[in-house]
Structure formats: C-alpha cells, structure tokens
Amino acid sequence: MAVQLMTVSAVQAIADDIRSKILRGEYPADTAFTETDVAARYEVARPTAKAAIEKLVAESMLERRTNKTAKVITLGSDDVRDIYLTRARLEKAVLLELAESRSVPPAAVAAQQDLERIDSGSGLDTVEPDMRFHMALVDSIGSPRTSRMYESLVSQVRLCMAQVQGLELVQPERIVREHQHLLDLIGAGDGAAASAFLDEHLSRPRERLVAAVGGVPGPEAELGSSLDT
Amino acid sequence: MAVQLMTVSAVQAIADDIRSKILRGEYPADTAFTETDVAARYEVARPTAKAAIEKLVAESMLERRTNKTAKVITLGSDDVRDIYLTRARLEKAVLLELAESRSVPPAAVAAQQDLERIDSGSGLDTVEPDMRFHMALVDSIGSPRTSRMYESLVSQVRLCMAQVQGLELVQPERIVREHQHLLDLIGAGDGAAASAFLDEHLSRPRERLVAAVGGVPGPEAELGSSLDT
DNA sequence: CGGCCCTGGATTGTCTAACAAGTACACATG
DNA sequence: CATGTGTACTTGTTAGACAATCCAGGGCCG
C-alpha cells in the first residue's frame, strides 16, 4: 500500500535534487560542488555528499578530475553534435523497426496530442512533450538498454538547453507537423523515409544549439594541448 | 611524459580488478560481494570497498537492491536478445555512415588481419579480435558517446560469454569471411546491404548465446528455483 | 503437528572524527 | 621579475560506531 515515496537513500535523494536543479538551470556550467559544501547544505556527512557527487559524475552531470572539485559539466559545440548524432543513430534504428511492423506507439500519440494542446504556449513549455514524444517512440520497442541509453542522451540535451539562456526560437507548430509526419510514415511502413526525415527534424535544433553554445569546440580543447583522461 | 602508471585511486583499482576477474569468468553469476568481504580481501576500509562495489553496480557488472548484498549480474535470454538488438541498432547506423563516405577503417582492417592470422586457433582466442573489429568500426566515426555506449554493450557480451562455459562453437573462418564481406560492402558504398548483413552476422552468435544461457527468460522471472551458492 | 511470531545474526546505510596527500594561490626572497 | 616555499583548502582514505533492515531459525500457540 505504501507507494515507495521515501527515496530511502540519502545519497539518492541528494543526487536527484541536484540533478533536477542542474536540469532546471539553477546551476550554470562550471558551478563548483565541493563535498563539504554539499554536506553542509543538505545536513549530511561528507561521505554521503561524496557519494551523491560521484553518482552524478558517473551519469555525466558533473565532471571531476582526481583531487579536484566537481563542477557542472560544460557542453561545447562538439558535444552537442555528438549528442545529437548519437541520438539520431539510436532513434533512426527504432523508427525502422517500428515502420517494419507499422506500429504507431499510443504513448507517442498521446504526447503528440499534449503538444498540440499547448501549441500556443511559449517555447519552453514545448520541450517537455517534445522529449516525451521521442522517448515514447524509443520506449515502445521494449528494449531496456536502448531506452536507458536514449534517456541519458535526452538528459544531456536538456542539460544543454538549461545552460543556454536565450533560446526561445522553437516553433511549436512546426514540431507538431513534423512529429505527425513521422507518425504517418511509421503507419505507412516507410521506415527509410521516416529515418531520413528524422535527420531533418533533428538537424534544426541541433544547429540551433550548436550556435547557442558558441564557438567553443569542446570543454577543454584550448589549454596548450591534450591532457586528457 | 608521465604515463599515468598508478591508478592513484584504491576504489578504481579494486573495481578494475573485480571487473576483470568477472569478465574472465572467475566469479560465476550470482556470486555475492559483501562489503566487509571485499574490504578484507583487498585490505581497505569498508567505505572504499563500498564505493568500488557501487561503481560496478553503476556499470551493470553487479546488481544490488537496497539493503541487500551485491551479486554478479545474471543475464537471461531476454537480456542477451536486448544486448544484441541494441548493439545491432548502434552498429547498423555506424555502417550506414561509413558506407556513405566509403571509408574503410584501418583499425578494423588490422583487427581483421589479426583474426585471419590466428584463424587456426581454438574458438576462445577469436573473440578478442572479433570484438576489436566491431569496436574499431564504431570508434572510427569519432563519436565518444556512441563508442562509450557500444563499449558497454561489448562488455556485457563478454560477461555473458564468461558466464557460459561450454561455448566453443565459433567458426573462425566464417567470422573472417563475414567480416570481409562487411568491409567490402562499406568500400562499395552499399550501406543498406552492410546493415542488413550485420543483422545476419549477429543473429547466429546471438541465438547461440540465448540457447546457452538456457530457458531462463530473465534474471528474476522465477523465484522458486535456484538460489544456491 | 503445522503455522505464526519473534528474536537473533548478518549486512547495509549513515555518521563522527581524523589523518594523509595533493593542489592552488599568495607571499616572501633572490 | 622569476622562483621557491608555505599555508589553506579540498579530496582520498581510514577507523570505529550506531541504527535500520533483512533473513533464518526456534519457540509458542492453535
């Protein structure tokens, strides 16, 4: 009867809170997260804060080098392209499989209807149903690993959008139209066309984000040379 | 200059050691990893052992539910299919892109030559160059995130193979032939054929692994049976 | 005789306190 | 001005301890 409302784990709760705040844009890129600071803010011991930070590092929300303080990850234009290209690879494969069986996922249709409903709203309200639409497509094929990977990519897209402030250029009616086109192509069994159209559909926001993050090629491409992992 | 020789982190070293031992098959499925046990074996404090265990849980080598001891993950037939299908999704997209530019990755050719060289060897020696071949294909497109995801899938394939003992049915000459066919199709720019052929190429080992892991549909589909150790 | 409670041991989650090691920055010195 | 040093800050790791939880075995009652 209890609906598992308590996260039963302090580090999980802290990590969830920090992650949601990062995705909401409350912590801009390069914000430092010291262990003692996190421990003090959430009133927990330092090992607990440390575990939460490392959890976020593991899922690429924060980055840290040994003996250095963790910071909110900075996504450069290279990262944005990589995220969108990887995302497209997964989703195109999904579209091909869905078109094969001509199965239009009901959850995606529902997300699409939500998107139509708030069509007149401002740009930022549309990204949630937009993401849900794509996520529903991927989830519908019932592959836990594919879903988990895609979810991680979507999360990074949201992180990137949160870091870029002046980004209101989304055109809801165009998104709705293109989504509908995708669903139609799936229903028609034309996987190749759906796959190709997805590239088009994703290219616009991708380049928009690339432009928004500025000319930064990568987070650490400009300090003498490679001091990489 | 300095070649980063010491892993400077105890938990990293412990996690690496346990992971390699798991992938080598020294710890069969469902092997329990108690925090105090790991701490004693590596002569470190319990938090350190805990961190190492949680690191392995994060990368799906171990699984644990709250307040329960971590165990080596058990991959059922559902998991094997999911791993191979997800793997195919990523790699097919990669093949399409490679064929688009007709670029045959040199690293893949090198792995292929290694595979030909030990062609006469037993089956188990072939899986390393085999994996390296596929990994080289994926790495060649220069997408860090795609590579990381594919690597995680390859790692799970290796884990699965390590857990299945009697699995010597690989036919090296067939693998060599099919790999060469893939490279030829890439060079010819026929991405669609390469993509389709990859499905064929992966289906055989997939079904072989599915059969090897037995009729277990999933790790926790039947709780009335084996819980030994 | 069988089912249920209940009490132990075992294990994990978390805390406090502390020390060692490494980095970064300021400062003093040549 | 360059260089070396030192100090503060932060992380990596340890030790010990306590509460909460889970599992199994035994005793009690029907």
CB A164 within 8 A of CB A212: yes
Give the largest CA-CA distance in chain B: 57
Name the nearest CA neighbour of A53 among A19, A79, A3.
A19
Determine which of A65-69, B70-74, B115-119, B225-229 has the lowest per-residue pLDDT on average.
Answer: B225-229
What is the total residue count of chain A? 229
Backbone angles phi, psi at A70, to 5 degrees: -70, 145
Chain A residue with the nearest C-alpha to that of B10:
A66
Are the beta carbons of A19 and A13 closer than 8 angstroms?
no
CA distance A132 to B120: 51
> For the ranges A114-118, B143-147, B167-171, B186-190, which has the lowest average pLDDT?
B167-171
Residue A46 CA to C22 C1' — how many Å? 18
Residue B96 belongs to what H/E stretch?
A: helix B77-100
For residue A177, what pLDDT is reported? Answer: 93
**Would the CB atoms of A51 and B51 count as touching at under 8 Å?**
yes
Q: Does B93 contact A90 at a Cβ distance shorter than 8 Å?
A: yes
The amino acid at residue B211 is A
- Asked if A69 and A34 touch (Cβ cutoff 8 Å), the reply is yes
Return the pLDDT at B219: 52
pLDDT tens for A115-136 read: 888 866 666 678 889 999 999 9
**What does the pLDDT look like over A174-211, one tens digit per residue?**
899 999 999 999 999 999 999 999 999 999 999 989 98
C1' (C21) to CA (A68) span, angstroms: 13
Tell me, yes or no, if A89 comes closer than 8 A to chain B by beta carbon.
Answer: yes
Q: Which helix (H) or strand (E) holds B33?
A: strand B32-33
Angle, helices B144-163 vs A144-163, to 10°: value is 150
Q: Which of A7-16, B149-158, B205-214 has the highest mean pLDDT?
A: B149-158
CB atoms within 10 A of CB B169: 11
Q: Is the pTM of this model over 0.75?
A: yes
The answer, yes or no, to whether residue B224 has pLDDT greater than 90, is no
| CB-based contact A149 B86, cutoff 8 Å | yes
Per residue in B54-68, pLDDT (tens digit) is 999 999 999 998 889
Strands (E) across chain A are located at 32-33, 62-63, 70-72
Q: How far apart are CA B155 and CA B126, in angstroms?
A: 16
Find, among A79, A72, A218, A54, the residue nearest to A157 by Cα: A79
Give the closest residue to B51 by CA, choosing from B100, B18, B95, B92.
Answer: B18
Residue in A closest to B88 by C-alpha: A93
